[in-house]
Amino acid sequence: MSDAGTDEATEATEAKTEATATTPDTAEEASPKDEAREALLGEITSALGDGVVESYLMPGTDLWIRVATDSWADVGRALHGRGFTFFSFLSGIDWMPSPYGRGEDDPTAEAPVRETETKQGYAGGETRFQVFARLVDLDRRLGVTIKADVPDDTMTVGSWVTIFAGANWHEREAHEMFGINFDGHPDLRNLYLPGDFEGHPLRKDFPLLARMIKPWPGIVDVEPLPTEDEAPPNGETAPSEGVLHAPADESAVTAAEQTPDTQAQQEQQAESSEAEPSDTGDTA
Amino acid sequence: MTVLSDRQQLGYIASQAADARVNVELETEGMTLNIGPQHPATHGTLRIIVRLDGEQVVWAEPVCGYMHRGYEKLTEVRTFPQVTTLVNRIDWLGSFANEVPFILAAEQLMDIEAPPRAQWIRTILFELSRIANITLFLGDLGVQMGAVTPTFIAFRDREYVLNLIEGVTGGRFHPNFDRIGGLKDDLPKGWIDECRQVMKRLRGFCEEIEDLLFGNEILQARMRGVGVIPAEIALQYGLSGPNLRGSGVDYDLRRDQDLPMAWKEVDWKVWTHPDGDSWARCWVRLQETREATKIVDQLLDGLPAGPIMAKVPRIIKVPAGEAWVSTENPLGEMGYYVISKGDLGPFRVKIRSASFNNISVVPWVLKGLYVPDIITVLASLYFILGDIDR
């Protein structure tokens, strides 16, 4: 929630990204799978040439490749020809931070200052919108996430329909939800929304009206985040449930469970009432 | 060549003329048939518009969106632990299985792993949701093919599985039981024995359904060779799960990727069928149910002791990053692409649901089929509306 924390975390990731991008050999324990991904990355890079703008490899986990906008359709065709036959999904991302926050604000308080800088994720980017897709090579059992920038002015990338027929619906969805156009798509109608719907719901500046009218009721009892000093020491076991709404201590649990009338009485017998829930818990 | 008499020639010409006249008279006009959104043969509000020539489909188009709930947008205003409540409702017949990939993605971003016991119980519950889901499919298949009895058997036996899920999680349809770092609770006392008995019963159910449905000549006649999807087309459309394996592609995410789950610890088989028709898809599902009961039995035997929750911070803030985790759900590949910016909630979640891709092949596969086959194909592709519309 705090802006400082978000900035730190994002910066940390960016530093990690750069480190991995510049020196991919720093992975200390390279398992065979990582070698496979590195080989895969090398193969794709050599096949696509200038098409690959940036890549990010997380050893043992996944591979991200950002390609040039103009070569989006060619990249799909090239990867399909190189064994990436399974089409998983295609969608868009809006990297602009939401001007509305997450609907957790106190409506009576002054509006908080929000982050306004657009920061792209793994494999970088320059534009607010990106398209991304997931393809899987069934022989090697490896998948790759392909990203491309969507130019802010034309909002157009090439279509994959002729390569992966299943991209048809995915591109229609991305078109109505983000306003991204796909050059070469045969029928770019709305898939879910009514034909005359105005706006693109998954854009960050599209307000979630339910939250505009009334803040999310589940968010009201969020306690302030503990600072580093207050955080429980590592040896302490974490509560198994209600992590977000976990009350500060045992007495808060008892207070919440009691009705106001009985509360005063039971506060006098605090010890017995604290023992009670644990007894029933064991027998239940 | 025989020489025709004048009389024969005249007769031939007359018959040709008559045929031509009949052909002109019987030339069919295209007809548009609207099925749904409320129709007994479509479970859920999927609407399909087909254009017919006689009884033959020349064009088909599913219309979705009658149940779109905007979960991708809603996740952006929830915290990570709150998202499981939403994703429970995507494929509502296998709810627990929807929670797992999201939780795994969050755990991947936080770089924590659930303790072994939690992983095993997760896998058990995952397979139980698969059994509950496909059991209902097998019963529903009967109804769509015009046989009512299997439904009652299926509902009866699914009840036992739902009771098991309820026994652990407290919820029959929406367990909301998976937590980042582990599970909410351990298994209750006596549950393991009960589970073994139910698994035995479910194997009996599979035998019964195999006799009743799959051994039925009428069903075979209606399903064999109907709605064939070749492997190439299935891959292009991103079909997954039994629909892909029914087309002969040996791809199962339980086996083919390295997830912190317990499938790799036990011995089981991935079933495929080379035919790619409606029959093959349903047959693969039946075999998978049987295989799932075996997985559960083996997992119960080897269930490790230990904690069910890893050490997680009291307030969950997921570090910035991106993660894609998908699992082999009852309907197929279910995955979440989670983008976090180090906040309490996700920045963006792309939900890749199986039915969306599975149903997108409908315009291709229905072309050229006859009207009764529409129902067969839709039944065999097996979709859940919440899984298409999200």
Spatial neighbors of A92 by CB under 8 A, at least 6 apart, are A129, A130, A131, A132, A150, A174, A177, A178, A180, A202
In this model, does residue B91 exceed pLDDT 70?
Answer: yes
Inter-chain CB proximity A86 and B320 less than 8 Å? no
Q: For the segment A103-136, what is each residue's pLDDT rounded down to a tens digit? A: 666 656 666 777 777 777 787 778 889 999 999 8
pLDDT value at residue B292: 92
What per-residue confidence (pLDDT) applies to A254?
A: 42
> What per-residue confidence (pLDDT) applies to B160?
92
DSSP 8-state secondary structure symbol assigned to residue A50: G
Q: Pull the structure tokens for residue B159.
A: 């009840």
A105 close to B (CB below 8 A): no
Pairing of strands B47-53, B56-63: antiparallel
pLDDT at B103: 92
Of B81, B97, B92, whose CA–CA distance to B333 is shortest? B97
Whether the CB-CB separation of B102 and B131 falls below 8 Å is answered with no
CB contact under 8 A, A238 and B314: yes
User: How confident is the model over A181-200, as pLDDT tens digits?
Assistant: 898 888 888 888 888 888 88
Domains of chain B: 70-315 (1.10.645.10)
Q: Which residues of chain A does CATH 3.30.460.80 include?
A: 3-21+38-99+112-203
pLDDT at A156 over 70: yes
Over pLDDT 90: what percentage of chain B? 18
For residue B266, give how far its alpha carbon lies from the nearest alpha carbon of chain A (Å). 20
Q: A256 in helix, strand or coil?
A: helix
**B26-69, pLDDT tens digit by residue?**
666 778 888 877 766 566 678 888 888 878 888 888 888 888 88
Pairing of strands A86-94, A129-137: antiparallel
Q: Tokens for B19?
A: 């045929």
A213 has a pLDDT exceeding 80: no
Please give the share of chain B, as a percent, with pLDDT higher than 70.
93
Q: Enter the tokens of residue B132.
A: 């509950």
Q: For residue B71, report the phi and psi dihedrals to the nearest 5 degrees.
A: -65, -30
Report domain A3-21+38-99+112-203's class: alpha beta
A143-147, B15-19, B22-26, B325-329: least confidently modelled range: B22-26
Q: Tell me whether residues B185 and A12 touch, CB distance under 8 A.
A: no
Indicate if the pLDDT at residue B359 is higher than 60.
Answer: yes
- Residue A47 CA to residue A86 CA, distance in Å, equals 19
* pTM recorded for the entire structure: 0.77
C-alpha B303: how far from chain center: 28
Contact A64 B322 (CB under 8 A): yes
Quick check: B261 pLDDT over 80?
A: yes
Put simply, whether A191 touches B (Cβ < 8 Å) is yes
CB contact under 8 A, A164 and B348: no
| Residue numbers in A near B337 (CB within 8 A) | 89, 91, 132, 134, 145
Cα(B176)–Cα(B235) distance, rounded to whole angstroms?
A: 32
In angstroms, rounded to a whole number, what is the distance separating the alpha carbons of residues A38 and B385? 39
Query: Which chain A residues are Cβ-neighbours of B81 within 8 angstroms?
Result: 243-244
Using a CB-CB distance cutoff of 8 angstroms, which residues of chain B are in contact with residue A202?
72-73
On the question of pLDDT at A268 being above 60, the answer is: no
Confirm or reject contact between B356 and chain A (CB < 8 A): yes
CB-CB: which of B70, B232, B239 is closest to A201?
B70
Sheet (strand B47-53) strand order: B31-35, B47-53, B56-63
In the predicted structure, residue A243 carries a pLDDT above the cut 50: no
- Pick B312's closest partner by Cβ from A91, A225, A238: A238
Mean pLDDT of chain B: 86
Q: How far is CA B175 from CA A71, A145, B157, B167, in A?
A: 45, 31, 19, 10
Q: Which residue of A has its CA nearest to B356?
A: A169
- Please check whether residue B153 is in contact with residue A215, taking contact to mean a CB–CB distance below 8 angstroms: no
Query: Which of A36-45, A65-74, B92-101, B320-329 is least confident?
Result: A36-45
DSSP A269: T
B24 in the Ramachandran plot: left (φ > 0), alpha (ψ -120 to 50) or beta?
A: alpha
Interface contact A134-B309, CB threshold 8 A: no
pLDDT grade, residue A4 (50/70/90)? very low
Q: Alpha-carbon distance B286 to B384, whole Å? A: 18
Taking a C-beta distance cutoff of 8 angstroms, is the pair B367, B253 a contact? no
Q: Burial code of B204-217, b = ≥16 C-beta within 10 A, e = fewer?
A: ebbeebeebbbebe
Mean pLDDT of chain A: 70
The ipTM, to two decimals, is: 0.82
Contact A250, A274 (CB under 8 A): yes
Q: What is the pLDDT of residue B130?
A: 92
Which region holds residue A250: left if phi is over 0, alpha if psi is between -120 and 50, else beta? alpha
Q: Minimal Cα distance from B68: which residue of A?
A: A192
**Token representation of residue B70:** 């905007």
Going by pLDDT thresholds of 50, 70 and 90, the confidence category of residue A215 is low
pLDDT for the residue A223: 60
> Residue B236 belongs to what H/E stretch?
helix B231-236
For B46, which residue in chain A has the nearest alpha carbon? A192
Split at pLDDT 50, 70, 90, the class of B337 is very high
In the block, tokens 């200390």 appear at A28
DSSP string, B87-142: HTTTSTTSHHHHHHHHHHHHHHHHT----HHHHHHHHHHHHHHHHHHHHHHHHHHH
Residue (of B92, B33, B62) closest to B377 by Cα position: B62
How does residue A266 score in pLDDT terms, banded at 50, 70 and 90?
very low
| pLDDT score of A248 more than 60 | no
Residue range B290-303: mean pLDDT, rounded: 90
Residue of B nearest to A119 (CA): B341
Place of tokens 């020491």: A233
What's the Cα-to-Cα distance from A9 to each of A211, B110, B283, rounded to whole Å?
27, 12, 49
pLDDT for A225 beyond 80: no
User: Chain A: nearest CA to B357, how far in angstroms?
Assistant: 7
Distance CA B237, CA A166 (A): 4
Whether chain A has a CB inside 8 Å of the CB on B372: the answer is no
A residues 19-58 lying closer than 8 A (beta carbon) to B:
33
CB pairs < 8 Å spanning A and B:
171
What is the pLDDT at residue A28?
42
| CB B361 within 8 Å of CB B343 | no
Predicted pLDDT at B296:
92
Q: Which residues of A touch B322 (CB under 8 A)?
A: 64, 121-122, 145
In Å, the largest CA–CA distance within chain A is 77
